[in-house]
Structure 1
Amino acid sequence: MTSRRKFITILGGGIIVAAGGVGTWAATRDPARAREPWEAAKMLEAGTSGDPRIFALSHAILAPNPHNRQPWIAELSTPGEITLYFDTTRRLPETDPFDRQLTIGLGCFVELLVMAAAETGHRADVSLFPDGAPQPLLDERPVARIRLVADETTPRDPLFAQVFLRHTNREAYDTARPVSAQTLDGIAASVRSARMDHATGAEEVAALRTLTWDAMEIELRTYRTMKESVDLMRIGKAEIEAYPDGIGLGGPLNEGLELLGLMDRQAMLDPDSMVFREGMKAQKVQFDTAMGFLWLATPGNARADQIAAGRDYVRMHLAVTEAGLSLQPFSQALQEYEEMAGTYADMRSALGIGENETLQMLVRLGYGPEIKASPRWPLETRIRTA
């Protein structure tokens, strides 16, 4: 293991400078094995993988989802059918106390599955919550039964071409490049059920930067919500490849900071620590470089509404990718826990959310740098065996 003396840290700027042999070490820190499910899906040719369910599922597991929990389990015991379940071990009880966000993630999974099935000439007939829609939490009942029916008239979705390019981009965006309202108006056509709206004006964007950062500060300074995130952090190549879910903090910079003791999990939870303060600075860059905002609202908040919001969200994200833009969810102000209640109400007011509507997703937009895909568990780990 590389010695701490091999690193020079400039705390104010959060910069690590490699010395000696560290450059060689740094070149080996990419957790490429955790991205293998993306490569496996790319290698599949529609109609040649035997069971079309495998093609569909290989793409569905690439869906965006909160904290990268990947909360899906598929059962294939009935030929031609996929029964989708929620993995109850993957809850976010502090920041998602009613499983709303996780249900949206399952909706993203369903939409990519339907799109992928169409690529093989199959119509996906989706029956949601066939044994009832569980409240207030998801349970072990099926989320959906999906029957794949051979049907060459099933239209292929042009957004499918963006599946391998769609990534959540948490880097700083280019503040010299404005986001066009006209471009976002065009993206609205990708949404089928939810109401999509956007903000690109300088004053609107500045106000939303402030409000979304206020919400993030609440989450970071509330011990139990911050601890939920810290407990899901995977720091460095070894952790990410062993547990390809949660919040991946990979690369030589993060591993170097850990060697220096600057990624100490207990210190991350202490608002008085230098580690906490530097983490706040690093995250605020995301908010300060938001160049536009998009949001989705549904007329209700039943489980079916949440699934529909997820299906629309991944379609919107694919359309954003097609337009050359980057996107990152800012979900903090939408979360339903006590400490967030005031900011939650302020955000609804700022975005003009109707009395009976539910604000399901809010994202920042901009032009970001090219990034790599996020880690995924291999498909075989997400299929239930008898």
Structure 2
Amino acid sequence: MTAHPGAGAPSLPGPWPAILDEARRYPSPHNSQPIVVRVHDDRRAEIFYDLDRGLPAENFGIPFAHVCAGVYLESLATVAAAHGWAVRETLRLAEMDFSSPDRRHLLGTVELEPTPVTDAAVEQLAAFRARRTSRRPYDRRPVDARVTEEVAAVAAAAGQEFGRTGDQALVDDLIRINQETLFDDLRDDAVHAEILTWIRTSKRQAAATRDGLSAETMLIPGPLLRIAMRHRWLWDLPVIGGVFRRVYLNTMRGVRELGWLTGPFDGPADHVEAGRVFLRIWLAFTRHGVDLHPFGTVITNPRSHAAFVERTGIQETGGRMAWMLFRYGTGRTPPRAWRRRLDAMLVDGRSDTPDGSSSAALRLPPAVAS
């Protein structure tokens, strides 16, 4: 499969322009898009994590940086395979130091090797292009058991266990925990400041930054989101706090099922592999027309995580952890989140600008949401 970037795409060698431009669609926590790439030649590139786009204030925020790296690496391999390339990795799985003066953490080197394009690779890329986070209400239709069986097989092949529940009382209880977690996190000054960094309360702001959590994708009116996030004490007022809660819970209507993943989560290597399998699972759902929305804060908030594990009876022993919880189902097509332009995620090794983009004159066609 051959893709042709529009006129004015970055002057990169070989297949990199097409591959990297599509790989930008990868999902990331808070849509922070922390991965940056330095292309060395037509086959080889270095992959970095931009520490200024991480979420170190959250409990497990640092491990999830490597989960995000795994999601990106799986995205890169998915795109490359449908373009006729296999990705060979040499990773440097060191712990991330968010206090380091070097704001780019090297994840490793990747090399492209020619490979035949298979029907499965084409189908997987189609799912990758269609994938998006859906915070819309779902339509209450149960998901076919054959889909969840396929997802369970994908998880098991990677040493993970896919758990699920269709018990409405438990589903509602976990959704309530997820909602309360947001309010709890807002009381933590460091986490609150971190969340504010990524909130985009208008379409104009979201289009300008091309990242973050937009009011449009969160299905919350921009003015209400601005007030709620900047004046967190309002959440505790009986009337106004109740309004905020109802607006938030309104997006959770129709959820019939929740899923979670339990598996090795004891170091950077485990975290990267967790990211890879999570994207494979997301694409498996997408291939069958099923939407997904991760509940990340339930995992990263210690009190909520303990409540989640207790309610579900999950056993976390031997370095295994319940590291992902998500809702899944069907509903109306959600809006797409913005993605940064390709030139903003490239570095050239010569003179880089403070925001991590190359100082070279790299230009892309007019901005589009993706």
Q: TM-score normalized by structure 2?
A: 0.79
Aligned ranges 1:79-118 → 2 under 5 Å: 79-96=42-59, 98-118=61-81
* Residue 169 of structure 1: how far off its partner (Å): 0.4
Between the aligned partners of 1:127 and 1:141, the Cα distance in structure 2 is: 15
Between the aligned partners of 1:227 and 1:141, the Cα distance in structure 2 is: 23
Between the aligned partners of 1:300 and 1:267, the Cα distance in structure 2 is: 35
Between the aligned partners of 2:117 and 2:137, the Cα distance in structure 1 is: 43
Between the aligned partners of 1:143 and 1:349, the Cα distance in structure 2 is: 35
Segment drifting more, 220-229 vs 369-378:
220-229
Contact 1:103 1:306 (8 Å CA) reproduced: yes
Residue of structure 1 equivalent to 2:114: 150
User: Quick check: 1:172 aligned with 2:133?
Assistant: no
User: Quick check: 1:120 aligned with 2:86?
Assistant: no
Matched position secondary structure for 1:163: helix
User: Quick check: 1:197 aligned with 2:163?
Assistant: yes
Between the aligned partners of 1:321 and 1:219, the Cα distance in structure 2 is: 30
- Structure exhibiting the larger radius of gyration computed from Cα positions: 1
- What are the superposed Cα offsets for residues 154-175 of structure 1, whole Å, 9 maximum, x if unpaired? 7852322212211000111123
- What are the superposed Cα offsets for residues 308-353 of structure 1, whole Å, 9 maximum, x if unpaired? 1111111111111112211100111211xxxx32332232233413
Between the aligned partners of 2:20 and 2:208, the Cα distance in structure 1 is: 22
Segment drifting more, 314-323 vs 151-160:
151-160
Between the aligned partners of 1:136 and 1:98, the Cα distance in structure 2 is: 12
Residue of structure 2 equivalent to 1:354: 316
- What are the superposed Cα offsets for residues 264-312 of structure 1, whole Å, 9 maximum, x if unpaired? 3532453245665433222123445321111122223211111111111
Between the aligned partners of 1:92 and 1:262, the Cα distance in structure 2 is: 20
Matched position secondary structure for 1:171: coil
Between the aligned partners of 2:4 and 2:306, the Cα distance in structure 1 is: 43
Contact 1:296 1:360 (8 Å CA) reproduced: yes
For 1:200, the aligned partner's letter is G
Which of 266, 269, 281 aligns to 1:316? It is: 281
Which of 51, 68, 72 aligns to 2:14? It is: 51
Between the aligned partners of 2:334 and 2:14, the Cα distance in structure 1 is: 32
Which of 313, 328, 346 aligns to 2:293? It is: 328
Contact 1:295 1:363 (8 Å CA) reproduced: yes
Which of 85, 94, 118 aligns to 1:133? It is: 94
Between the aligned partners of 1:145 and 1:154, the Cα distance in structure 2 is: 25
Task: Extract unaligned runs of 5+ from structure 2.
Answer: 7-11, 351-370
Between the aligned partners of 1:249 and 1:226, the Cα distance in structure 2 is: 17
Aligned ranges 1:347-386 → 2 under 5 Å: 347-351=308-312, 352-356=314-318, 357-385=320-348, 386=350
Which of 248, 259, 267 aligns to 2:214? It is: 248
Aligned ranges 1:287-306 → 2 under 5 Å: 287-306=252-271
* Residue 231 of structure 1: how far off its partner (Å): 3.1
Contact 1:92 1:99 (8 Å CA) reproduced: yes
- What are the superposed Cα offsets for residues 97-138 of structure 1, whole Å, 9 maximum, x if unpaired? 542222212211111111111112211111221xx5125659
User: Quick check: 1:206 aligned with 2:167?
Assistant: no
Q: How many residues align?
A: 331
For 1:226, the aligned partner's letter is H
Residues 349 and 42 of structure 1, relative CA distance in 2, 3 Å threshold: farther
User: Quick check: 1:345 aligned with 2:310?
Assistant: no
Between the aligned partners of 1:152 and 1:262, the Cα distance in structure 2 is: 48
Contact 1:72 1:87 (8 Å CA) reproduced: yes
Contact 2:138 2:252 (8 Å CA) reproduced: no
Contact 1:174 1:367 (8 Å CA) reproduced: yes
Contact 1:98 1:136 (8 Å CA) reproduced: no
* Residue 214 of structure 1: how far off its partner (Å): 3.7
Contact 1:122 1:154 (8 Å CA) reproduced: no
Residues 324 and 42 of structure 1, relative CA distance in 2, 3 Å threshold: farther
Task: Extract unaligned runs of 5+ from structure 1.
Answer: 1-40
Matched position secondary structure for 1:142: strand
Residue of structure 1 equivalent to 2:245: 280
Matched position secondary structure for 1:197: strand
Segment drifting more, 86-95 vs 218-227:
218-227
